[in-house]
Chain A
Amino acid sequence: MRNLFERLVDPRTLPIVVTLVLFVALFGFGSVMYTGFFSMQVLVGLLIDNAFLLIVAIGMTFVIVSGGIDLSVGSVVALTTILCAVGTERLHWPVWVIVPIVLVLGTLYGAAMGALIHFFKLQPFIVTLAGMFLARGTCFLITTQSITINDPTFHALSGYHFGVGSASLSTGALIAIVTLLIAIFVAHFTRFGRNVYAVGGNERSALLMGLPVARTKVGVYALSGFCSTLGGIVFTLYVLSGYGLQGQGMELDAIAATVIGGTLLTGGVGYVIGSVFGVGILGTIQTLITFDGTLSSWWTRIVIGALLCAFCLLQRFIERHAARRKSSGPGLGKRVSARRTRRPTQPDGTDQAEPLAMEPGR
């Protein structure tokens, strides 16, 4: 029992535990307050309505774990909807030609940004900002209008439903679940995943250990590009149109979901499954506000901002706690030497590599 408690307050798992508790609490609050909230269909509806955000947030989790940030995801989603719509409505290409082409383009786009960030040592923030401008501008260069998709295959894919008990899943939700499973596998059971955690924990020591830092960093941004393109395809199926103003502010939602899901912004710590609950919390807030009916839509943004703030404060607290623990030896109770942490050149504090960063799968 004590062992379980210690695992719960471990700095690596504490944020995700808080997220899980918050998600259950929010959902429980909704079930108590509103009739018809506690049903399988509402839970599945969360997944269906937020499938695209979930896929985008999964890519964002990898980027943030590697210590970077990707601001271009929202505009890549918009560009994907436009490319899908133009491909099917103007060029009359079949779906199975468009989708692979768009996915490859998105991956290359992400990889190009990653290459700029790694080889030119530019800040991820500024490069992906330029990527955001470029993708959004390209959307408007292609068309400034909204293109409705009338292609029967798209409609068939969009209308497909997979029955699970009393509820049914849409194609987008199925894609999201498959992406999630693959992402968890990649993050925790492959070399690439381990490298991402290592690079995020401390890039220099990862390089000294002989890990392929360049390949990992470019790969992470390529993965994020792929995920945002896939999210864009799911979004296209969801709205069945292409428009350049789509997905505005989605990068903020994805970052918020990742942070609320317990990924540390300094890199090296975080779980893909946490982002799922992060997206779940954002979706539940939206559903709650819809169910209530008297609250206006802008409360969503305020509540998300407040949650983001609370989780960032929690992260700071955990970081300080971890730093204190690191420099005062193994014991949690040795608070006497806490004052020494102020001096970073302490002999026992010289090991700057985060010990908790290297063990993602434990």
Chain B
Amino acid sequence: MRVFKAALQHPLAWPCLTLVLLVLLDLTHNANFLSLSMLDGHLFGAPIDILNRAAPLVLVSLGMTLVIATRGIDISVGAVVAIAGAAAATILADDPHAVGEALIAALTVGVLAGMWNGVLVAFVGMQPIIATLILMVAGRGVAQLLTGGQIIPIGSPGYLFVGGGYLARMPCSVWVAMCGIALTALLMNRTALGLFIRAIGINPVATRLVGLRSGAIVFGVYTFSGLTAAIAGILASSNVRSADGNNAGLLLELDAILAVTLGGTSLLGGRFSLAGTVLGALIIQTLTYTTYSIGVPPEATLVVKAAVVLVVSVVQSATARTVLVRHLRRAFAGVSKRPITEAAK
């Protein structure tokens, strides 16, 4: 019992439990949900499908986690995803063999977008939500400017391999996401960077007075978010074989924020968990898969997501917990007292 209680105290317990519940729900609906099969030397099956489709979201959420850990927010990631895809597609449209140039262009554009956000937040001192709102509004316009308002098809086999190909029996995008997770985890846990980011999130003024160059770190965090969004943009555009300035990465920023909150990262900054974020992204993708497979209209996921956001933020808020606990106690006290008074009669 004590072990069980201790396990529940672990920050990752709730996201794990949610994911397990979702998978169980899928299993009751489809007994073969977890089965994997080999076809043409590749692994196939629902879990692989979920991993493959979750890869862009996982990458974007990694960047978002660090941004949120510094008390910031980056709502421009969806637009950056669109810009990166558009940049790669325009280069490939001219020369289908210039895969390297296309990848570098996409990554450069993403890093530049992240640096722009970083300058506005860290050095100009704008509120993060407003600073990134600028790029969110203008970014879609820039992406459409690059694509000329068209959906550009991508036919280059080298580029398509990144998001749609297979490497060692697994989809390539899964490997890319795993590399991203491993590198970020190494940076955060094996260097002091993770500590610095948490410190900035807890008290930015104190961090600066201690002597940390918090401006540079915040700038770096937004740049990193731009980079991960660009990688996600490459995966997404390569997976659907086209770049669409209008719809690529639409509402992705909201999904990323949701994944980060689900994973137990506090929106108030100072506390983050990369493993939780990855779990959160997987939960969202499994949820989408489940709604499709059960036959609920896919639009209903929005309602479920809304409920999840509310429940998670209420659970995270200390004030909300005290208010709720007080009300519950009162309600339970009322229930337990009633039989006694009735007996007295």
B257 at the interface (CB under 8 A from A): yes
11 A-B pairs whose Cβ atoms sit less than 8 Å apart in the complex: A120-B319, A122-B320, A137-B305, A144-B299, A297-B149, A298-B145, A301-B138, A304-B138, A305-B138, A309-B138, A312-B134
Residue pair A312, B131 in contact (C-beta under 8 Å): yes
- Smallest Cβ distance from B336 to chain A, in angstroms? 26
Bound form: Cα–Cα A305–B216 in Å: 25
Given A133-B302, A134-B303, A141-B300, A312 and B310 touching (CB < 8 A)? no
- Min CB distance, A148 to chain B, in Å? 20
| Residues B23-74 near A (CB distance < 8 A) | 73
Does A2 count as interface, using CB distance less than 8 angstroms?
no
Query: Which residues from 150 to 172 on chain B have a C-beta closer than 8 Å to any C-beta of chain A?
Result: none
Please state if A137 and B140 are interface contacts (CB–CB under 8 Å).
no
Interface residues on B, range: 35 or more
B141 & A130 in contact (Cβ 8 Å cutoff): no
Determine whether the beta carbon of B149 is less than 8 Å from that of A296: yes
Cβ–Cβ contact B141 & A301, under 8 A? yes
Which of the candidate stretches A6-14, A20-28, A251-259, A324-332 sits at the interface with the other chain? A251-259
Task: Check B297–A141 contact: CB distance below 8 A.
Answer: yes
**Which of A137, A265, A305 is within 8 Å of B301, CB to CB?**
A137
Give the CA-CA distance A297 to B246 in the complex, in Å.
12
Residue B136 contacts which of A127, A244, A252, A316 (CB distance < 8 angstroms)? A252
**Is B314 positioned at the interface, with any CB of A under 8 Å from its CB?**
yes
B interface vs A, CB < 8 Å?
73, 120, 124-127, 129-131, 133-142, 144-145, 149, 245, 254, 257, 261, 267, 297, 299-307, 309-310, 313-314, 317, 319-320, 323
The answer, yes or no, to whether A119 is at the interface (CB within 8 Å) is yes
Q: Given the known A-B contacts A137-B299, A298-B149, A304-B138, are A312 and B126 also in contact in the complex, defined by CB atoms under 8 Å?
A: yes
Q: Does A299 contact B (CB under 8 A)?
A: yes
* B134 lies within 8 A of A131 (CB): no
Per DSSP, chain B at the interface is helix
On whether A316 and B131 interact (CB within 8 A), knowing A116-B310, A131-B306, A252-B136, the answer reads no
10 interchain residue pairs of minimum CB distance = A305-B138, A140-B299, A137-B302, A301-B141, A137-B303, A133-B306, A120-B320, A134-B306, A298-B144, A302-B141
Taking a contact as CB atoms closer than 8 A, the residue among B124, B254, B297, B310 that contacts A140 in the complex is B297
**Cβ A122 vs Cβ B145 within 8 A:** no
Give chain A residues whose Cβ lies under 8 Å from the Cβ of B314. Answer: 116, 120, 122
Residues of A within 8 A of B (CB): 69, 116, 119-123, 125-127, 129-134, 136-141, 144, 244, 252, 255-256, 259, 265-266, 296-302, 304-306, 308-309, 312-313, 316
Task: Give the docked Cα–Cα distance between A159 and B224 (Å).
Answer: 53
B319: min CB distance to chain A, Å:
4
Contact among A120, A130, A141, A316 for B323, CB-based, below 8 A: A120
In the bound complex, residues from chain B placing their C-beta under 8 Å from that of A255 are 133
